[in-house]
Amino acid sequence: MSSAVRRVLPMAAIISNPTSLKHGLSLFCPELHSSASCSSFNPSRRFQRRNFVAASTSSSFANDNREFVIVGGGNAAGYAARTFVEHGVANGKLCIVSKEAHAPYERPALTKAYLFPLDKKPARLPGFHTCVGSGGERQTPDWYKDQGIEMFYEDPVTGIDIEKQTLTTNSGKLLKYGSLIIATGCTATRFPEKIGGNLPGVHYIRDVADADSLISSLERSNKIVVIGGGYIGMEVAAAAVGWKLDTTIIFPEEHLLQRLFTPSLAQKYEQLYSDNGVKFVKGASIKSLEANSDGHVAGVRLDNGSTIEADMVVVGIGAKPAVSPFDSIGLNNKVGGIQVDGQFRTSVPGIFAIGDVAAFPLKMYNRIARVEHVDHARRSAQHCTKALLTANTSTYDYLPYFYSRVFEYEGSPRKIWWQFFGDNVGETVEIGHFDPKVATFWIDSGKLKGVLLESGSLEEFQLLPKLARNQPLVDKAKLQNASSVEEALEIARASLPVEAVA
């Protein structure tokens, strides 16, 4: 048994610069009053549906389905489409316009099973179209056709006329909408071109094309440098181990996933990666990405003057909300993204925003958040669409949830899967030696605020959201003295009210 108690800052304090929500999935949550930075937004106003002129005979509009338009082709769009179908209002009424070449898919696969070595059964489309990630139907391109949903692929929206309720796409198409759902997600944060950010062999990963390009480099490379110690960095580095590459991770923080992991927890994961041959360069700043005589990336130069050789570089330093061309709708200057209320309504009647791009009230913690995670993409899409189509006026009540799965390819000596629910504020109690389990509990003013579990059983993982949602008072000393992860979880379970255990 091992236990540790330490004081940690809340996640909002750790991320001091809202423009640098780096290293993968983001939960940046200043206080609720920060939403005042978004002028003209009034979450208490009554929702008013914009008057919609169908203009179905007009040849000036490229879309036939004009009552509802979704901009974006990621997870949120796919789950919103399913909800429209479930309510019987998709056929002939719903249009989706996307920069993607594919129908919506479960994006997390791109840094997980998609990157498995070619002889280890990697994931490929159509296998992970939405909504298979939550046990739903696989929505292939034919599914959208069968449901009467109009699709525009590889044609991002570049302009909006709010008064005329029209959109302009990159190819010049003019689209009409009655109600608009913005589900544009995020774009990868890139290094500037002047320091080598666009060199051949430098990769960013947000879509299938990016992942395919990365795989092509993995096949030809011997040395890979991964920049970023967050979710993307950890998952890509684990995949590179499967490809038997010389792998180095570089990041500026003191340890892996500093926004969530405690130093003790991070050390356990770092040891696992080290045991698999991964090298770490911590507390480092990048000066430039260096090219060889052919113009291909050949190394990463650090501020201290040293250079780490590389045949390829993967940059995973975070993402930024894809708000363009919707800047005029009302942005949140603290957390980024488009400001919405508890039903994902923007300051403009008839326009909604969901998923990564939405800055929404995180009800249970009384603050504004922007969450970059597939679980929120799914749930926000469903909540928004139900609010739009029905009399549902309930406020979105999201419980923050993050997870990662690595080293899951065939032949891996150990598969890793952890889940976290809640808020990482207060003191921490860590139980377990990582062989195979470890659990970390966050306790603030006697209440259990958050919990992370590695390698839990299905029943144990199902307990975590109950604990984080109810925030029970727990006996910290008793928790510290637990002899195993199982005992610690049972202590936490016993602190729940009877109705929450069922």
Where does 415-500 sit in CATH, by number? 3.30.390.30
114: three-class secondary structure by DSSP: helix
Q: Does 65-187+321-390 match 193-317 in CATH topology?
A: yes
Residue range 290-312: average pLDDT?
97
Is the separation of the CB atoms in 286 and 317 below 8 Å?
Answer: no
CA-CA distance, 415 to 272, in Å (whole number)? 11
CA-CA distance, 70 to 81, in Å (whole number)? 9
CA-CA distance, 474 to 484, in Å (whole number)? 17
Give the CATH number of domain 193-317; options: 3.40.30.10, 3.90.550.10, 3.20.20.140, 3.50.50.60: 3.50.50.60
Weakest mean pLDDT among 16-20, 142-146, 402-406, 490-494: 16-20
3-class secondary structure for 308-333? Answer: EECCEEEECCCEEECCCCCHHHCECC
- What is the model's pLDDT at position 27? 32
- What is the model's pLDDT at position 57? 46
Is the separation of the CB atoms in 311 and 352 below 8 Å?
Answer: no
Is the separation of the CB atoms in 313 and 249 below 8 Å?
Answer: no
Model-level pTM?
0.88
**Model confidence at 43: pLDDT above 90:** no
258-280 residue pLDDT tens: 999 999 999 999 999 999 999 99
**Model confidence at 206: pLDDT above 90:** yes
**Model confidence at 369: pLDDT above 60:** yes
- What is the model's pLDDT at position 500? 76
What is the chain's alpha carbon radius of gyration, rounded to the nearest angstrom? Answer: 23
- Which two structure tokens, joined as six digits, stand for 122? 């990697």
Give the CATH number of domain 65-187+321-390; options: 1.10.540.10, 3.40.47.10, 3.50.50.60, 3.20.20.70: 3.50.50.60
- What is the model's pLDDT at position 499? 80
CA-CA distance, 99 to 140, in Å (whole number)? 17
pLDDT band per the 50, 70, 90 thresholds, residue 8:
very low
Q: Tokens 């958050």, residue?
A: 450
- Which two structure tokens, joined as six digits, stand for 126? 């159509």
Over the chain, what is the mean pLDDT?
90
User: Rounded to 5 degrees, what are φ and ψ at 405?
Assistant: -135, 125
| Chain center to CA of 371 | 7
Residue range 32-44: average pLDDT?
38
**Model confidence at 96: pLDDT above 80:** yes
Angle (CA) 242 243 245, round 5°: 110
- Which two structure tokens, joined as six digits, stand for 398? 């999201």
Residue range 209-228: average pLDDT?
98
Among the listed residues 97, 299, 287, 313, the one whose alpha carbon sits nearest the alpha carbon of residue 217: 313
**Model confidence at 449: pLDDT above 80:** yes
329-361 residue pLDDT tens: 999 999 999 999 999 999 999 999 999 999 999
Among the listed residues 393, 374, 383, 394, the one whose alpha carbon sits nearest the alpha carbon of residue 353: 383
- What is the model's pLDDT at position 132? 97
351's CB contacts (< 8 A; 6+ apart) are 162, 179, 180, 182, 329, 345
CA-CA distance, 169 to 159, in Å (whole number)? 7
366: three-class secondary structure by DSSP: coil
Among the listed residues 7, 29, 25, the one whose alpha carbon sits nearest the alpha carbon of residue 185: 25
- Which two structure tokens, joined as six digits, stand for 36? 């005042």
Cβ neighbours around 272 below 10 Å, total:
17
**Model confidence at 222: pLDDT above 90:** yes
**Model confidence at 41: pLDDT above 60:** no
Is the separation of the CB atoms in 237 and 226 below 8 Å?
Answer: yes
Weakest mean pLDDT among 4-8, 140-144, 247-251, 469-473: 4-8
Percent of the chain with pLDDT over 70: 88
**Model confidence at 173: pLDDT above 50:** yes
- What is the model's pLDDT at position 59? 65
User: Domain limits of the chain?
Assistant: 65-187+321-390, 193-317, 415-500
387-416 residue pLDDT tens: 999 988 999 999 999 999 999 999 998 999
Q: b or e along 3-39 (b: 16 or more beta carbons within 10 Å of the residue's beta carbon)?
A: beeeebebbbeebeebeebbbbbbbbbbeeebbebbe
DSSP-derived pairing of the beta strands 246-251 and 223-227: parallel
Among the listed residues 233, 262, 227, 181, the one whose alpha carbon sits nearest the alpha carbon of residue 8: 262
**Model confidence at 45: pLDDT above 90:** no
278: three-class secondary structure by DSSP: coil
Element spanning 419, H or E: strand 416-422
Residue range 446-470: average pLDDT?
98
Q: Tokens 């082709």, residue?
A: 73
pLDDT band per the 50, 70, 90 thresholds, residue 502:
low
Residue range 206-221: average pLDDT?
98
